């Protein structure tokens, strides 16, 4: 580091030892998929009796290393039992059968297998958990070598013979202790308690295989992929979970890649220091670092950076558990032999969620020099080349992915210690991936202004087929603005000419735009917009010379709130390639048309009087202060027009209150359009995090019902609420002529890998060019519609055809994607609720 | 065995801060700090706490543990595995940690050649027959430079509440100072070691005459052993079973060194390239308002490094330059970066390590980058 001055001025701080400050209650959010934070966290959903095992094991199974966390698998939320029409069967029927293989292995146990659960008590009472174990295992000849013990509950693969067994041990002090071992349960393999037990044992096995736990998954550090350009290291590994699925208990495992950076937080701060001006340095650090997960050098723990304390440094002291004061420098030197070389660096603050006993531990102070960065920053995600580099390593085609998944089972089968442990417990894993049949439901006909188009089901894309065909509803461009900088005059002119060429066949009437040249400054754009927009302006098109986010944000903010008209921003670079100019012009014409309230295509929707709602959330990555939910509902029968609103969650507000208000306005607008109210409402709820299902079931659904009740006494529509999940570990492989391929779009799975306590199914709706396609999981948590599962599946798939920014089938129902787009725009650029005058148009596309 | 909570129940008369077991471990750590041994073995390593503490000592390259109870070792042995951080920034030193299952009454060649052997609260757990063989195995066979033996001082026991006979039911004996010292002196004499006595756990005021709670003997071999005499006549048959082995990533291993060098070279070169491009872009924009053509018009041989990077460039031949779509960064420039320099040592070594891993110019003197796809967007 000699090339750098020894001390960036930003680090120079008065050295005053101090206690870490308390940090605000709401830590900044960076997780892109966190669920509705605002919904009150119900402490205990509805757990079946069998799940009530002692705290020690919950710790082991759920968090493994201290601290109780939420149940990421949403076990114990039994929603199917309340849905009458799927008690017998939740499977659909249409489509043709397809042979599928999936990333699940069956867990098998010996015939008549049982797990024996004992309660262990001590007289006199012994407090320390380690002492309790030591005393108990003085009787190994009785208990055997195979056991799992958390200090009070003992699991054994064998019966001790008596209901109550008493033994005596002696402590080091020569004190005699009576240990009473009482059989409390004889658990069959499918007991929920056993599931927790399986996961505990499985984690043991992964450790035996020398896999490193990081976060929830396990990684193999011995054979990393290096990406030196960005100081990245990628570790291959596995996500695993053992759960009760439709017919059997299975291990679901998928390959996972952990992106680590061989760069400490301090290294990163130094390189940032040379990229930004000094006065912006601290802000820049906060912006880049807060919310990131760091990994400490000296132990294998990960922490979230919640704050940076610039007033503290490594020479500050803290109080150890024994009451003595020690500085961070001395502590790390003594404890881990870690030298801290930069004594003026600030410290990182992490709000610990860990608990010791019932005591919540305070914030954790971390030294930047001793923390490695993990994961990708926003900047890296936006780096196209880097992401390409990364995906070339991590995006595996089906055949290869299957091999990688199979490796885990290979490791397990080949390791003697692991085999022994499994044998001792009487368990084993099936050596083959689970295979079964799914169904491929037929593709839809694309209806566009009298014409009917078929598309190639393999590609799930109809951009070629429908090119140049008239649109269902074309909005005229009578009076519109085209704004550009001097440098981009030619580009703007070419765009105009190309639009004149492509719009007639679509049926879009177009006048010449009002061409306005501006200086390349944000204020110049805004001034021109203020001066030129009149009440009959259809749309404002801005050609931007660079991808400067602030300019884009300012334009969008102005045109979505203060002066609500549709707007279209386009980068000059996008328009500058002659070979793609026409297809770009076509896309822009379509997009502009949607923003002005036009309609492109539709599919046949047999269900009448149905309102479909899509909800998705955006969590602010930087300020982390609020979440935004997008809410989109159709306004017409053909589902070509949509009502869009969003909720910006204020302080102390619940997201669900806002969603209620959205639903009310949507119904009002529906009534205006249709002169009646919908008789069915189907809500597709995206943006729900792992482990938040019970909150949805217990809080959000009742609120929706409440809201419907408030509409009118006689109004009693049928409500269906479907939780949509894109991030699942389930993968399907289609067997076709000996090779494994991605299943074709339209593949529906509602057997084998679904959960018996849920009314759930998977649909693979999109086609991917490389890698493995990710199925979308749909979980119907509330349903009074009496719709047959087959009909709901078909409707869901139809809805995946209706996203106007993509002439093809997408991963989720269109309203979810619209809601996502809206929430993203508001969260990233506008930061407050857009003007409601725009709510009947897809202005955010 | 369960030495960690031995002191937990002490209340009243004597309470050690920090706890006695920690004081014993700290004693060993201090000893390691003083003598800087490379190979250290802990006999009776139990749950591997001492080994875990010692793995952070940067002088140690080989760590071994031995215990008769495999299950107690296995319970926490995974904390001896390398951490993610050890892989992310491999250390200069190499480190191998091995755990063996076996008895100190048996000889195994894997225990030869150690600098320090520690036996913390071990001997009092040995049966008479094992204790008899112990000196021959440790001092005669293993014959390390230093042996540390700690054991309870029975004279202290009356101060410990609740201790009737021994401090732990598994103890076969507990010696007073005279007993321990005579055994130690006799052993030292027989195997040519010198021994000094000390201890941890000071007695309370007024009771100084009982001595330390834990008595410790530090044995130092009088004569350096020649490698021949060390190996002659030693059995080669293994008596222990290896239950755990971890090899830490180290820059001594060519594979990790190469990775580190290649990463550093590419990263360094990227920084130089970026600052070069930024500078060129700025200069370029001043003259030309049209960004679409900026790529092709660079003149070669600009000295465009930012100031701090520029300091390094002393010779003209070390300047990076752009030719068409390709940026050339001379290896000499990269070699002058302290981190690269420290890793490789010599320019030849740098050449050798990056061969085939980094794209070089035809004469092999510079790292080449294509700027073509720099600004592409999806």
pLDDT in tens, B198-215: 999 998 888 889 999 999
Q: What is the CATH number of domain B20-248?
A: 3.40.50.150
Grouping H, G, I as helix, E, B as strand and the rest as coil, residue B297 is: helix
- Integer Cα distance of A786 and A798 in angstroms: 19
Q: Band of the pLDDT at B238, cuts 50, 70, 90?
A: confident
Distance from first CA to last CA of chain B, Å, rounded? 62
Q: Enter the tokens of residue B144.
A: 């390390």
- CB distance B65 to B42 below 8 Å: yes
pLDDT score, position B375: 43
A371 pLDDT exceeds 50? Answer: yes
What's the average model confidence in pLDDT over A342-349? 93
Q: Which numeric CATH code is attached to A115-187?
A: 3.30.70
Does the pLDDT of residue A625 top 70, yes or no? no
| pLDDT average, residue stretch A426-438 | 93
Cβ atoms of residues A765 and A684 within 8 Å:
no
> In this structure, what are the phi and psi dihedrals at residue A814, rounded to the nearest 5 degrees?
-50, -45
CATH class of the structural domain A474-596: alpha beta
Same fold, A115-187 and A474-596: no
Write out the DSSP string of A567-615. Answer: EEEEEHHHH--GGGHHHHHHHHHHHHHHHTT-B--B------SEEEEEE
Whole-model pTM?
0.80
Answer yes or no: is the ipTM higher than 0.85: no
A260 in contact with chain B, both atoms CB, cutoff 8 A: yes
> Is B84's CB within 8 Å of A207's CB?
no
Rounded-to-integer distance, Cα A7 and Cα A266, Å: 12
Residue B196 CB burial class (10 angstroms; 0-12, 13-18, ≥19): exposed
Chain A interface includes B263 (CB < 8 A)? yes
Distance from CA of A3 to the nearest CA of B (A): 6
In the structure encoding, which two tokens stand for residue B219, read together?
């044995």
Nearest one of B333, B330, B332 to B367, comparing CA atoms = B330
For residue A77, which of A754, A656, A781 has the smallest C-alpha distance? A781
- The answer to whether A664 faces chain B, any CB pair under 8 Å, is no
Beta bridge partners of B63: B40, B97
A-B contacts at Cβ under 8 angstroms: 118
> In this complex, which of B88, B291, B306 lies closest to A233 when CB atoms are compared?
B88
Task: Classify strands A232-244 and A217-219 as parallel, antiparallel or unpaired.
Answer: antiparallel
Q: For A49-106, what is each residue's pLDDT tens digit? A: 333 344 445 444 333 333 344 678 888 889 999 999 999 999 999 999 999 999 999 9
State the alpha helices, DSSP H only, in A294-397: 328-336, 378-381, 384-394
Predicted pLDDT of residue B230: 52
Report the pLDDT averaged over residues A537-555.
91
* Contact assignment for A172 to B266 by CB distance below 8 Å: no
The predicted structure's pLDDT at residue A651: 66
| Residue A8 reports pLDDT greater than 70 | no
Q: What H or E segment, with its residue span, contains residue A539?
A: strand A539-544
Domain segments of chain A: what residues? Answer: 115-187, 474-596, 604-728+775-832
Q: Is it the case that residue B317 has pLDDT exceeding 70?
A: no
- Across the range A103-113, mean pLDDT stands at 90
Sign of CA dihedral A202, A205, A211, A213: positive
Please report how the helices A265-273 and A281-289 are oriented relative to each other, as an axis angle in degrees rounded to 10. Answer: 140
Q: Is the pLDDT of residue A422 over 90?
A: yes
Phi, psi dihedrals of residue A146, rounded to the nearest 5°:
-100, 115
C-alpha to C-alpha distance for A843 and A644, rounded to whole angstroms:
9
- pLDDT of amino acid A356: 53
Q: d(Cα A824, Cα A618) in Å, to the nearest integer? A: 6
Residue B231: its pLDDT value, please?
Answer: 53
**Which one of A302-306, A617-621, B290-294 scores highest in mean pLDDT?**
A302-306
pLDDT at position B281: 72
Q: How far is CA A184 from CA A155, A160, B329, in A?
A: 10, 12, 72
pLDDT (mean) for A194-204 = 88
Locate the domains of chain B by residue range.
Answer: 20-248, 253-283+314-377
pLDDT category at A359 given cuts 50, 70, 90 is low
Confidence of residue A654 (pLDDT cuts 50, 70, 90): confident
B51 DSSP assignment: H
pLDDT at position A24 over 50: no
Mean pLDDT within A387-406: 89
**Which residue of B166, B306, B373 is in closest CB contact with A385?**
B373
Q: Which residue has the higher pLDDT, B301 or A425?
A: A425
The average pLDDT across A516-545 equals 94
Nearest chain A CA: its distance from B283 CA (Å):
18
| A460-464, A564-568, B277-281, B304-308: least confidently modelled range | B304-308
Q: Which of B21, B22, B82, B84 to mutate to test the interface with A (most CBs of A within 10 A)?
A: B84
For residues A120-149, average pLDDT: 86
Contact A160, A116 (CB under 8 A): yes
Which has the closest alpha carbon to A784: A93, A87, A91, A85?
A85
Q: Please give, rounded to a whole number of angstroms, the shortest distance from the CA of A220 to a CA of chain B.
A: 10
Q: Which of B5, B18, B264 sits opposite A130 (nearest CB)?
A: B5
Closest CA to B138 of B87, B97, B190: B190
The CATH superfamily assigned to A604-728+775-832 is: Ribonuclease H-like superfamily/Ribonuclease H (3.30.420.10)
pLDDT tens by residue, B207-236: 889 999 999 999 999 987 665 555 555 666
Residue A421 and residue A207 in contact, taking contact as beta carbons nearer than 8 Å = no
pLDDT score for A118: 94
Q: Residue A342 above 70 pLDDT?
A: yes
Q: Which of A303-307, A725-729, B60-64, B117-121 has the lowest mean pLDDT?
A: A303-307
Instruction: Name the average pLDDT for chain A.
Output: 86
What integer is the mean pLDDT of A428-434?
92
Compute the average pLDDT of residues A771-792.
96
Q: What local confidence, expressed as pLDDT, does residue B138 receive? A: 95
Give pLDDT tens digits for A385-396: 888 888 888 889
């Amino acid at each position: 580091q000699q090339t750098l001055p020894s001390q960036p001025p930003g680090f120079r701080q008065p050295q005053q030892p101090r206690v870490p400050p308390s940090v605000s209650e709401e830590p900044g959010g960076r997780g892109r998929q966190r669920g509705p934070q605002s919904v009150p966290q119900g402490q205990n959903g509805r757990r079946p009796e069998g799940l009530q095992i002692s705290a020690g094991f919950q710790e082991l199974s759920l968090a493994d290393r201290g601290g109780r966390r939420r149940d990421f698998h949403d076990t114990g939320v039994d929603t199917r039992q309340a849905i009458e029409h799927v008690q017998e069967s939740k499977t659909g029927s249409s489509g043709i059968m397809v042979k599928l293989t999936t990333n699940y292995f069956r867990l098998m146990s010996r015939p008549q297998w049982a797990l024996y659960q004992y309660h262990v008590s001590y007289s006199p009472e012994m407090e320390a958990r380690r002492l309790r174990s030591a005393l108990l295992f003085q009787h190994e000849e009785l208990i055997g070598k195979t056991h799992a013990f958390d200090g009070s509950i003992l699991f054994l693969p064998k019966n001790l013979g008596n209901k109550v067994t008493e033994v005596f041990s002696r402590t080091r002090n020569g004190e005699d202790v009576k240990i009473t071992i009482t059989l409390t349960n004889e658990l069959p393999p499918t007991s929920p308690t056993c599931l927790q037990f399986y996961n505990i044992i499985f984690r043991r096995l992964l450790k035996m295989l020398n896999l490193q736990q990081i976060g929830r998954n396990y990684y193999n550090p011995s054979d990393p992929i290096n990406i030196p350009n960005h100081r990245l290291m990628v570790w291959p590994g596995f996500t695993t979970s053992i759960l009760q699925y439709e017919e059997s208990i299975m291990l679901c495992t998928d390959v996972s890649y952990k992106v680590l950076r061989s760069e400490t937080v301090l290294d990163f701060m130094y390189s940032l220091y040379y990229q930004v001006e000094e006065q912006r340095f601290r802000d820049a650090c906060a912006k880049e670092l807060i919310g990131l997960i760091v990994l400490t050098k000296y132990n294998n723990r990960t922490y979230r950076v919640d704050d940076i304390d610039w007033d503290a440094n490594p020479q500050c002291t803290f109080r150890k558990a024994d009451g003595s004061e020690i500085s961070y420098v001395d502590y790390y030197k003594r404890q881990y032999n870690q030298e801290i070389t930069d004594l003026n660096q600030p410290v990182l603050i992490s709000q610990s969620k860990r608990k010791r006993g019932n005591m919540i531990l305070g914030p954790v102070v971390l030294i930047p020099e001793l923390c490695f960065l993990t994961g990708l920053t926003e900047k890296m995600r936006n780096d196209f080349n880097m992401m390409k580099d990364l995906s070339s390593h991590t995006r595996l085609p089906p055949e290869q992915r299957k091999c990688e998944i199979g490796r885990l089972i290979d490791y397990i089968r080949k390791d003697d210690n692991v085999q022994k442990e499994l044998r001792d417990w009487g368990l084993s894993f099936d050596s083959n991936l689970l295979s079964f049949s799914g169904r491929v439901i037929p593709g839809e006909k694309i209806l566009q202004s009298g014409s009917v188009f078929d598309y190639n089901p393999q590609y799930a894309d109809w951009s070629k087929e429908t090119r140049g065909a008239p649109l269902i509803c074309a909005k005229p461009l009578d009076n519109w603005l085209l704004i550009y900088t001097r440098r981009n005059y030619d580009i703007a002119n070419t765009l105009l000419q190309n639009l004149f060429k492509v719009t007639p066949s679509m049926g879009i009437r177009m006048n010449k735009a009002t061409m306005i040249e501006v200086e390349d400054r944000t204020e110049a754009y805004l001034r021109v917009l203020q001066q030129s927009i009149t009440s009959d302006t259809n749309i404002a098109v801005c050609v931007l010379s660079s991808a400067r986010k602030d300019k884009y944000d300012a334009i969008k903010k102005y045109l979505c709130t203060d002066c609500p008209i549709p707007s279209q921003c386009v980068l000059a670079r996008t328009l500058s390639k002659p070979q793609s100019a026409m297809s770009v012009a076509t896309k822009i014409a379509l997009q502009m048309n949607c923003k002005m309230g036009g309609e492109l295509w539709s599919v046949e929707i047999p269900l009448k009087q149905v309102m479909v709602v899509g909800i998705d959330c955006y969590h602010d990555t930087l300020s982390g202060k609020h979440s935004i939910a997008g809410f989109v509902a159709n306004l017409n029968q053909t589902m070509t027009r949509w009502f869009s609103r969003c909720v910006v969650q204020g302080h102390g507000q619940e997201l669900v209150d806002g969603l209620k208000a959205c639903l009310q306005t949507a119904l009002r607008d529906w009534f205006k359009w249709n002169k009646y109210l919908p008789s069915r409402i189907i809500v597709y709820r995206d943006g729900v995090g792992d482990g938040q299902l019970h909150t949805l079931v217990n809080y959000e659904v009742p609120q929706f019902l409440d809201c419907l009740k408030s509409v009118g006494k006689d109004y009693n529509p049928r409500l269906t609420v479907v939780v949509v999940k894109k991030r699942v570990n389930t993968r399907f492989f289609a067997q076709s002529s000996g090779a494994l391929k991605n299943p074709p779009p339209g593949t529906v799975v509602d057997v084998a890998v679904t959960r018996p306590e849920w009314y759930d199914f998977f649909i693979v709706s999109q086609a991917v060019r490389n890698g493995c396609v990710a199925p979308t999981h749909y979980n119907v948590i509330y349903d009074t519609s009496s719709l047959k599962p087959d009909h709901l599946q078909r409707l869901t798939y139809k809805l995946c055809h209706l996203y106007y920014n993509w002439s093809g089938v997408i991963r989720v129902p269109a309203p979810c994607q619209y809601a996502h787009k809206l929430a993203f725009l508001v969260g990233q650029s506008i930061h407050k609720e857009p003007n409601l005058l725009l709510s009947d148009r897809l202005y955010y596309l | 065995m369960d030495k960690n909570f031995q002191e937990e129940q002490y209340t009243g008369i004597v309470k050690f801060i920090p706890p006695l077991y920690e004081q014993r471990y700290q004693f060993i750590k201090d000893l390691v700090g003083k003598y800087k041994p490379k190979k250290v073995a802990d006999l009776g390593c139990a749950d591997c706490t001492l080994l875990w503490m010692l793995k952070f000592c940067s002088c140690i390259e080989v760590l071994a543990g031995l215990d008769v109870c495999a299950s107690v070792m296995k319970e926490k042995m995974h904390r001896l595995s390398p951490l993610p951080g050890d892989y992310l920034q491999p250390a200069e030193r190499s480190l191998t940690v091995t755990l063996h299952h076996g008895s100190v009454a048996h000889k195994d060649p894997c225990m030869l050649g150690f600098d320090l052997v520690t036996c913390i609260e071990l001997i009092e757990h040995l049966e008479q027959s094992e204790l008899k063989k112990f000196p021959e195995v440790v001092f005669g066979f293993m014959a390390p430079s230093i042996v540390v033996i700690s054991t309870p001082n029975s004279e202290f026991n009356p101060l410990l509440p609740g201790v009737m006979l021994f401090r732990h039911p598994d103890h076969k004996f507990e010696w007073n100072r005279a007993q321990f010292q005579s055994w130690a002196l006799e052993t030292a004499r027989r195997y040519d070691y010198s021994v000094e006595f000390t201890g941890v756990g000071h007695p309370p005021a007024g009771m100084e005459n009982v001595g330390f709670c834990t008595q410790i003997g530090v044995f130092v071999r009088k004569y350096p052993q020649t490698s021949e005499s060390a190996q002659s006549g030693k059995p080669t048959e293994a008596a222990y079973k290896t239950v755990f082995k971890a090899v830490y990533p180290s820059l001594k291993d060519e594979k990790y060194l190469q990775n580190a060098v290649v990463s550093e070279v590419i990263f360094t070169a990227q920084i130089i390239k970026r600052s070069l491009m930024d500078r060129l872009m700025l200069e370029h924009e001043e003259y030309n308002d049209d960004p679409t053509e900026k790529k092709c018009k660079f003149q070669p041989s600009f000295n465009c490094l930012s100031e701090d990077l520029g300091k390094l460039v002393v010779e003209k031949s070390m300047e990076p330059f752009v030719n068409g779509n390709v940026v050339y960064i001379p290896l000499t420039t990269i070699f002058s970066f302290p981190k690269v320099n420290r890793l490789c040592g010599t320019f030849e070594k740098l050449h050798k390590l990056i061969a085939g891993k980094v794209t070089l110019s035809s004469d092999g003197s510079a790292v080449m980058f294509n700027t073509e796809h720099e600004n592409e967007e999806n």
